[in-house]
Amino acid sequence: MKITIFGTGYVGLVTGTCLAEVGNDVLCMDIDQQKIDKLNQGIIPIYEPGLEEMVKENHQFGRLRFTTDAKMAVDHGLFQVVAVGTPPDEDGSADLQYVLSVAKTIAEHMTEYRVVVDKSTVPVGTADKVKSLMQKTLADRGADIEFDVVSNPEFLKEGAAISDFMKPDRIIIGTDNPRTTELLKALYTPFNRSHERIIAMDVRSAELTKYAANAMLATKISFMNELANLAEHLGADIEQVRNGIGSDGRIGYHFIYPGCGYGGSCFPKDVKALERTAKDLGYQAELLSAVERVNDRQKHVLFRKIHQHFNGQLKGKIFALWGLSFKPKTDDMREAPSRVLLEALIDAGATVQAFDPEALAEAKRIYGSKAGLVLCKSQSEALENADALCVVTEWKNFWSPDFAQLKLKLKEAVVFDGRNLYEPKQLKAAGLTYYCIGRPVSH
């Protein structure tokens, strides 16, 4: 099948590559010439396990091509997949300018029937907006050409995007036209083999499904973070509580890990956007705004513990920081808790020696040569002359450090762990003071 993908960001590139992998003829279009030039040389703009090899291979076989030529892009695919960004506006609502501009481009160039497949996370009602903008653009051209608009949200997790695409939990197809449902079903046949994964519904419900899924997951996390803070006040251990409640099938073990807050490109943006949508409709979404507030507060929890431990005397102190990306297996630092912590420490006069297996280049891009921030090449380099260690991302390499070495290296022999990675008894035995989330301090 012939498929055009608009936007070669995270979602677009993964979608295009996976569709090419199963034998489709995919053309990816982006307005960024530099990005397209690099992709044509096999250089990919993001880190995602397995993606680079897949892009190269499919590119070599000619199944995956890249262009900036809009006319060529619209001519190519029966399916015109929209995977451009929807960044938050100042008021939290999703900025639709890129989605609408792609819709206009399609309508300006199309000469025959097209299916516009919306993969970007967009507010409920966007498919209708896309439809009327396209109708108007076609009418202005004096063209009478049929098209359909489908909402087909993605549920990719960074770090696991390829397997999420290849073996999805569900494929949501939102359309009000049965003809399009059939076309989309055909497109997804290779990903729907072992059991039925396709869930067809109306457009607005599909658009809301994406927000509902992310908001539910974010709610689980904020709920656990709230309880973790409460557990600290009560002298209880949230890890035992987590085990206790996760065993209930109705609750489950997924997404109930307390920590120093959720980050990334989706949860913060989507919770805000859904809250904003509600507000615009005159409905106060109490739970959503609490989820967001709890998370914002949680990103400051480690700093508060550090501040308290050192009685506010942070000037001149050196902190080793393990982890910069918002989660493991990605170099993405958008809304990462690490940023809140490192900025607070530096503002308080401390130096931060940070290490991350993948996000150092991204940190350099964001912070340049920010005073007080030293980017280190290894986790042990980050520990040199440090007073304390802070862990904010649960990269595997951080799971089992040599605690005796840590005790020798750290001037204050104290560890602040935002991901509850360690067994308090082990650190205690090594002579380390250990702060984590929702568990009693051990020393």
Instruction: List the catalytic residues.
Output: 266
Given candidates 2, 136, 157, 411, which one binds ligand UDX under the rule CB under 6 A?
A: 157
Which residue, chain included where needed, has tokens 């397995």? 50
Q: Which of 299, 306, 226 shows the shortest CA–CA distance to 264?
A: 299
| Cα distance from N-terminal residue to C-terminal residue, the chain | 62
Given candidates 64, 73, 115, 156, which one binds ligand UDX under the rule CB under 6 A?
A: 156
Any known ligand binding at 434?
A: no
What does each C-alpha distance from 78 to 36, 116, 189, 294, 346 come to in angstroms?
A: 22, 9, 16, 44, 52
**262 scored as a contact of ligand UDX (CB under 6 A):** yes
Q: C-beta of 261: minimal distance to ligand UDX in Å?
A: 7
Given candidates 267, 355, 422, 434, which one binds ligand UDX under the rule CB under 6 A?
A: 267
Q: C-beta of 262: minimal distance to ligand UDX in Å?
A: 3
Given candidates 158, 237, 362, 417, which one binds ligand UDX under the rule CB under 6 A?
A: 158
Given candidates 29, 266, 288, 437, which one binds ligand UDX under the rule CB under 6 A?
A: 266
Q: C-beta of 211: minimal distance to ligand UDX in Å?
A: 11
Residues from 40 through 59 that contact ligand UDX (CB under 6 A): none
Number of H helices, E strands in the chain: 18, 14
171-174, strands of its sheet edge to edge: 64-67, 25-29, 2-6, 79-82, 114-118, 147-151, 171-174, 198-201
**264 scored as a contact of ligand UDX (CB under 6 A):** yes
- Closer to ligand UDX by Cβ: residue 108 or 164: 164
Binding mask 108-147 for ligand UDX (x = CB under 6 A): ----------------------------------------
Given candidates 154, 331, 362, 387, which one binds ligand UDX under the rule CB under 6 A?
A: 154
Give the integer Cα–Cα distance in Å for 154 and 118.
Answer: 9
**331 scored as a contact of ligand UDX (CB under 6 A):** no
Binding mask 205-234 for ligand UDX (x = CB under 6 A): ---------x--x---x-------------
Any known ligand binding at 355?
A: no
**425 scored as a contact of ligand UDX (CB under 6 A):** no
Binding mask 297-326 for ligand UDX (x = CB under 6 A): -----------------------------x
Whether the CB-CB separation of 106 and 141 falls below 8 Å is answered with no
Q: C-beta of 264: minimal distance to ligand UDX in Å?
A: 3
Give the integer Cα–Cα distance in Å for 331 and 349.
Answer: 27
Residues from 232 through 261 that contact ligand UDX (CB under 6 A): 255-257, 259
Q: Which of 196, 235, 246, 135 shows the shortest CA–CA distance to 439?
A: 235
Q: DSSP readout, 158-191?
A: TTSHHHHHHS-S-EEEE-S-HHHHHHHHHHHGGG
Give the integer Cα–Cα distance in Å for 114 and 279.
Answer: 34
Q: What is the dihedral of CA 381, 382, 385, 389, to 10 degrees?
A: -140
Any known ligand binding at 257?
A: yes
- Closer to ligand UDX by Cβ: residue 79 or 326: 326
Give the integer Cα–Cα distance in Å for 183 and 163.
Answer: 23
Q: C-beta of 182: minimal distance to ligand UDX in Å?
A: 25
**183 scored as a contact of ligand UDX (CB under 6 A):** no
Q: Which of 283, 126, 153, 297 shows the shortest CA–CA distance to 212?
A: 153
Measured in degrees and rounded to the nearest 5, phi and psi for residue 30 equal -145, 150
Whether the CB-CB separation of 46 and 365 falls below 8 Å is answered with no
Any known ligand binding at 2?
A: no
Q: C-beta of 139: minimal distance to ligand UDX in Å?
A: 35
Residue type, 10: Y
Give the integer Cα–Cα distance in Å for 267 and 401.
Answer: 30
Q: C-beta of 356: minimal distance to ligand UDX in Å?
A: 14
- Residue 48, both tokens: 């995602």
Residues of this chain that interact with ligand UDX (CB under 6 A) are 154-158, 214, 217, 221, 255-257, 259, 262-264, 266-267, 326-327
List, as residue ranges, the binding site for substrate.
155-158, 210, 255-259, 263, 327
List, as residue ranges, the binding site for NAD(+).
30, 35, 86, 121, 158, 269, 334
